[in-house]
């Protein structure tokens, strides 16, 4: 989930089992998501539901983030920024 709210926050529940994927520290991947959320001033939540291979978990996280970002910036034709503010009860 990505919310371009201006309030940076990141939650990354990836459940990596190893310390590295190739030459990359899994800690660095989580740090990337936190840094991106901060730079975008966005709330980013990444929760991996299942998976065995850390490489595939990382791929899934990046692809899911890309799809969520695409949805967050998509134009709907109204001219207004997409928002649920004031509509949730």
Q: What is the CATH number of the domain that holds 6?
A: 3.30.230.40
Please check whether residue 32 lies inside any domain of the structure: yes
Q: Is the pLDDT of residue 80 over 80?
A: no
Residue of higher predicted confidence among 62 and 84: 62
**CB burial class (10 A; 0-12, 13-18, 19+) of residue 65?**
buried
Q: Is the pLDDT of residue 89 over 80?
A: no
Please check whether residue 9 lies inside any domain of the structure: yes
Q: Is the pTM of this model over 0.85?
A: no
Please check whether residue 69 lies inside any domain of the structure: yes
Q: What is the pLDDT of residues 31-63, one digit of tens each?
A: 999 999 999 999 999 999 999 999 999 999 999
Q: Is the pLDDT of residue 86 over 80?
A: no
Residue 44: which region, alpha, beta or left (left: phi > 0; alpha: psi -120 to 50)? beta
Please check whether residue 12 lies inside any domain of the structure: yes
Q: Range of 58's domain?
A: 2-73
**DSSP-derived 3-state class of residue 45:** strand
Number of domain units in the chain: 1
Q: Is the pLDDT of residue 77 over 80?
A: no
């Amino acid at each position: 989930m990505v919310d371009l709210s201006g309030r940076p926050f990141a939650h990354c529940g990836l459940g990596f089992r190893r310390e590295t994927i190739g030459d990359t520290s899994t800690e660095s991947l989580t740090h990337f998501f936190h840094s991106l959320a901060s730079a975008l001033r966005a709330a980013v939540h990444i929760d991996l539901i299942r998976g065995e291979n850390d490489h595939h978990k990382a791929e899934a996280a990046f692809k899911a983030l890309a799809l969520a970002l695409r949805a967050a910036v998509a134009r709907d034709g109204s001219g207004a920024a997409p928002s649920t503010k004031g509509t949730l009860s």
